[in-house]
Structure 1
Amino acid sequence: MMKIKSLLLFLIIGVVFYHAQTLNIRKNSLEERTYEELEKEFYNSPAGEINSKSIADYYLKKAKSEKNTTQIAEGYVMLHFAEDLPNALKYLDSLQYITKNSKENIYPARIYLLRGNLYSKNDNLQSAFNNYILGLKYAKEKGNKRQIAMAHISIAHLNNYIGKHAETAKVLRHYAYDTDYMNEDEKNSLKLNLADAYIEINKMDSAYVLIKDGLLDSKKNKDVYRYHQNLGLLGYYHLHSRNYQKAIDGLLECEKYFFTNHNGSKRNQNYTLLYLGKSYAGLQEKEKAVGFFRKIDSLVLKTNYIYPELRDVYTYLIDYYKENGDKEKQLYYVDRFLKVDQVLDMQFRYISRELPRRYDTPELQQEKESITNELTKRKSLFYIVLSLLLISHLLFINVYFKYKKSEKNYKKIAQDLIQSVNENKGEKNRGPEIKNEISAAPVQTVSTENVEDKISRTISEDIAQTILKELEIFENNDQFLNKGITLGSLAKKIKTNSKYLSEIINTYKGKNFATYLNDLRIDYAISRLANDKKFRSYKIPFIAEELGYNNEQAFTLAFKKRTGTPLSIYLKEIENMSLN
């Protein structure tokens, strides 16, 4: 027993002595290096390594002992990379204080750009954007081309995040190919992100060339991390092209790499799982898709990394568990969706790439309350069954009478619309005018004197009349039923510009372009549904498509907004009046 204790003591002393010797050797090694050598080793080491932290600590200590302001500043920069957000911000505050009188043209822009990167890394995009703007301002004041480029590139990434992919591609392409002050690593990164933007705007051939070049170059230079970044992007390319199995083959290799030994960033890990889930969903392998989407939810809970495509993830999970009748999990993912959606809307204030058509926030909130009430009833039914029955009965009566009252109003509106259609059958106008008592937006009348006064200042009368004639042709030929009509496309068709067209519509029609187009379609629908029995017999999605809408929900919402009554009640009243 004594021999074992002695042996253990000897081993402990040996380990301590070994570590002391190692630290001493390491310290002596650092002391022999110049600032430039220390910087080179630090920036070539993976972020977060103990080795890089010790280099930064020694660098700052050495600079302070020598009272070297420039190197003290660099030491603060090096140290902030290895810290969490609050401590990293403190180092950058120290950097700002020590460089406030610096003559170097990299300050103060460098401070704001680093803060922007730090906030972006921690998913505070609003603060990131504000700091990038300040960084760009000071970089321009000092004429620092590289910093101006970095600010533009950083803001381009934010544009890409909120769906402005064409603008992103323009900036990235410029700095990847048209400048001589970006190094090779920076250009490779630009090309990688450019390929991603190309996929988003369907420039698939251009994206494929960039990805293939990136794979070959990274393999040649044995850059394993960049190779897997390009491989992941190739997976997204195949997913976008609906070559799901090809996408999966490459993405599974990426998953293995990015989730091993901290090789992947939060973004790489999340998007690899996202593309795998979507690829399996494309193959209709729902269980595998759900498995990857659930992994994403776990990652989000762990890292709080939130991005627009999470809406797709939670929508898929909600649909899956709804189909399988698992209300507990359905409720859980509805709740997760609402929390993510709230963060995206409140903090980042952007329009997502693909808003779920069936699960927008109000609908999900209502569904959440319904499921919660149902689960609560199941758990407490034994104790409060009589109370619940009474409350339910009273609520039912209240809701019933409210519904009946609303239904009566809706029927009256629908009947007025049908009567208006019948009265105008002999007239040339395709759709009935909607009476002011109907709760749709009333037609605005604009006095001729005001119109002429407004237009004469900006557009000649000849041009105005030409545009109005073209609009009359547009209306009379039912061209508003075409899909994909925009202000720009219509302006191009009638050989004018968007500004003139918008002003004419606002002035002469008394409404903006979107309302003008919507009113034409709904007025057409009101008339045709009342007069065309065959058209009325079609399913609503087909009718919506015929009228130029992308989906049924957009049509029915537009119909109610314009007329003040639901489409279903209008159709029902037409049938009732036909029978009578």
Structure 2
Amino acid sequence: MKPFSLSKLCSIFFFVAITFLCKQGDAAVKPDEQFNEIYVKIATEVSSSNLNRAFKMSDSLLASTSDKFQKMKCLMLLATLNQRSGNIVKAIEFVIKAGGMLSEDEKYLSWKVRIPGLLSTLYRSANLTEEARKYLVIAEKENLKLKPSTGTTITQALILQEKAYYAIEEDQNYKLALEELSESERMFLKGPNQPSRDVFLGTNYQLIGLCYLKIKDYEKAKAYYLKAKANLSTTESELKAYIFCGLGDLSLEMHQYKEALSYFEKAEPYANNSNNFHAKIMINRSFAIYYKKIGDTKSALKYHELYSVLMDRQAQATKEVSNQLFKQVAVKEKESSTITKRLILISVILIGFIVFLLYLNNRSNKKNRIKYEKIIKVINSVQGSNEQENLPIEINDPNSKLQSQSMMTNESEKRLLDSLNKLESKNFFLRGDVSLSSVASKLNSNTKYVSYIINKYKGKDFNNYINELRILYALNDLRSNADVRKYKISYLADKYGFSSHSKFAAIFKSTAGISPSIFINNLKKDDNIVSVERPDSDLM
């Protein structure tokens, strides 16, 4: 049996529609019974057991009918099959063709929900969020126009579930996501008690568990993950990858490493046996974090590389879908009588824009080079004299922001400051979970005194102090170690203690004045210049 896909809503706007909405819209016009029998068999029975055979039967069914409505249904069936096989670009092509056959006839009404619903799913799976949300709005609007029924209620519940995905993944609005999921659950429970409802509710509980994990309510998170697992019972679904991985992430947060590994190992086969990029990315990322936490650098790097490869493949898939959208726009433009004039105008604008961008890029490169050279000069100066200078980087100034009244005796301040400096020499700040309380504990002091010392002698609050130490370490590490420059920015972010690629890049730029990628590129450029100037140095 083909695993149920968590992130793909073809089953939502297509197979569920066969069961419920067809009774409302299609039954009224009594479609050809022989066609409908074959169609339903392909969609439910054959596609679950033999996807290749389902493709062949669908192609034959499409070729055998001249009825516009039946052709539209065949195109949607082919779109769904392609989506299940992982061919998102082809799936979108079939859905768009099907959408071009819609009319105001009553029998098309429910398909006005299914078509934008499937498009929303496909674009979201390709990370084209804005396009996906646009079609989800259309699907919801058309569903509300239909006569209320069991089918429309379930479809609305699934739309709310899809909205919760966006609230979690894109907006990080977990309160809104929990509200959407609560309403979705209520609607599902109103529907008939059948296996598909268990999967839909299981998805709901998994997402609720994820929300509570994000807000660090671990007790509720575990309860809902286990509820999701119980709801699936013996159903084999890739949803289990998300459930087990969520339980593993939860165990990792609670430092229960043995339990975490057990859950990740259960999640891995479900993720790897699916066509779901997100599931595979998720489990490899979790394994990388797990092995890093237990100190197995080799395994951590292995899974991080797998994670990076999958991210690149997903980016390529997004690019392909984007190119397809561009082609669709181009085709529509060619149908216009003014296409030539428009293309000329666009070309002129683009050329002018490109020239302008090249000018800006050249100017930006010069500015970045100047900033880079200042940073290198500072690093050299600090390494040579052990003294700090005024740079584009905010080097710690122990005499800045001295407080007018001391909280401690001079002896106590000196003793605590010396201990803090010794801790710095051990690079404590590279730990991702470092906090003011953990530092205070290591120094056998309290957070109030440690914060006071950092403010008085380091000239900044705790977070800025830690972040600048990390960036200064990163600058020296990248400068002195050419091998480190080969790694992706996401890996470097983790290496230097930052929680994400974006946070590392933002703090690096605000501290050093240029982005980490620009700094690394300039280091590589200097390496190339040296190798050109001394081509035979290794032979001397």
For residue 314 of structure 1, what is the aligned residue in structure 2? 284
For residue 298 of structure 1, what is the aligned residue in structure 2? 269
Tell me the amino acid that sits aligned with residue 145 of structure 2.
Answer: D
For residue 558 of structure 1, what is the aligned residue in structure 2? 518
Q: 3-state DSSP class of the match of 2:32?
A: helix
Question: Partners in 2 of 1:254 and 1:206 — Cα distance?
Answer: 20
Tell me the amino acid that sits aligned with residue 102 of structure 2.
Answer: A
For residue 158 of structure 1, what is the aligned residue in structure 2? 122
Matched, 1:261 2:234: yes
Cα separation, partners in 2 of 1:550 and 1:132, compared to 1, 3 Å: farther
Matched, 1:276 2:247: yes
Tell me the amino acid that sits aligned with residue 89 of structure 1.
Answer: F
Structure 2 counterparts to residues 5-16 of structure 1, below 5 A: none
Q: 3-state DSSP class of the match of 1:139?
A: coil
Q: 2:38 aligns with which of 67, 76, 89?
A: 76
TM-score normalised according to structure 1 size:
0.51
Tell me the amino acid that sits aligned with residue 152 of structure 1.
Answer: P
Q: 2:55 aligns with which of 74, 86, 89?
A: 89
Question: Partners in 2 of 1:192 and 1:547 — Cα distance?
Answer: 35
Tell me the amino acid that sits aligned with residue 559 of structure 1.
Answer: F
User: Displacement, 1:280?
Assistant: 2.7
Tell me the amino acid that sits aligned with residue 214 of structure 1.
Answer: S
For residue 242 of structure 1, what is the aligned residue in structure 2? 216
Deviates more, 1:319-328 or 1:228-237: 319-328
Decide whether the 8 Å contact of 1:126 with 1:348 is kept in 2. Answer: no
For residue 373 of structure 2, what is the aligned residue in structure 1? 526
Cα separation, partners in 2 of 1:217 and 1:349, compared to 1, 3 Å: same
Question: Partners in 2 of 1:216 and 1:133 — Cα distance?
Answer: 33
TM-superposition CA deviations, 1:538-580 (whole Å, max 9, x none): 646267768763999x93431243465469x99xxxxxxxxxx
**Per chain length, whose mean CA-contact separation is higher, i.e. which structure has more relative contact order (CA < 8 Å, sep 6+)?**
2
Q: 2:177 aligns with which of 182, 187, 207?
A: 207
Tell me the amino acid that sits aligned with residue 519 of structure 2.
Answer: F
Structure 2 counterparts to residues 17-416 of structure 1, below 5 A: 43=19, 70-80=32-42, 81-83=44-46, 84-99=50-65, 101-102=66-67, 105-139=68-102, 144-177=108-141, 179-181=144-146, 183-202=152-171, 203-221=173-191, 223=193, 225=198, 226-258=200-232, 260-262=233-235, 265-266=237-238, 268-301=239-272, 303-321=273-291, 333=303, 337=307, 340=310, 344=314, 349=319
Question: Partners in 1 of 2:104 and 2:185 — Cα distance?
Answer: 39
User: Displacement, 1:211?
Assistant: 1.0
Question: Partners in 2 of 1:174 and 1:73 — Cα distance?
Answer: 29
The percentage of counterpart residues that share the same residue type is 13
Tell me the amino acid that sits aligned with residue 216 of structure 2.
Answer: R
Q: 3-state DSSP class of the match of 1:277?
A: helix
User: Displacement, 1:329?
Assistant: 5.8
Question: Partners in 2 of 1:306 and 1:294 — Cα distance?
Answer: 17
Decide whether the 8 Å contact of 1:160 with 1:197 is kept in 2. Answer: no
Backbone CA RMSD of aligned residues = 4.4
Cα separation, partners in 2 of 1:200 and 1:320, compared to 1, 3 Å: closer
Tell me the amino acid that sits aligned with residue 216 of structure 1.
Answer: R
TM-superposition CA deviations, 1:29-64 (whole Å, max 9, x none): xxxxxxxxxx99x948xxxxxxxxxxxxxxxxxxxx
**What residue ranges of structure 2 are gaps of 5+ in the alignment?**
1-14, 21-29, 322-344, 379-387, 396-467, 476-503, 531-540
TM-superposition CA deviations, 1:164-191 (whole Å, max 9, x none): 3344334323422464138222222111
Q: 3-state DSSP class of the match of 1:173?
A: helix
Tell me the amino acid that sits aligned with residue 92 of structure 2.
Answer: F
Question: Partners in 2 of 1:516 and 1:159 — Cα distance?
Answer: 37
Tell me the amino acid that sits aligned with residue 279 of structure 1.
Answer: L
User: Displacement, 1:335?
Assistant: 7.8
TM-superposition CA deviations, 1:461-491 (whole Å, max 9, x none): xxxxxxxxxxxxxxxxxxxxxxxxxxxxxxx
Decide whether the 8 Å contact of 2:248 with 2:259 is kept in 1. Answer: yes
Question: Partners in 2 of 1:270 and 1:349 — Cα distance?
Answer: 26
Q: Aligned pairs, how many?
A: 352
Cα separation, partners in 2 of 1:187 and 1:518, compared to 1, 3 Å: farther
Tell me the amino acid that sits aligned with residue 287 of structure 1.
Answer: K
Q: 3-state DSSP class of the match of 1:549?
A: helix
TM-superposition CA deviations, 1:14-37 (whole Å, max 9, x none): xxxxxxxxxxxxxxxxxxxxxxxx
Cα separation, partners in 2 of 1:150 and 1:286, compared to 1, 3 Å: same
Question: Partners in 2 of 1:117 and 1:546 — Cα distance?
Answer: 41
Q: 3-state DSSP class of the match of 1:72?
A: helix
Cα separation, partners in 2 of 1:511 and 1:562, compared to 1, 3 Å: farther
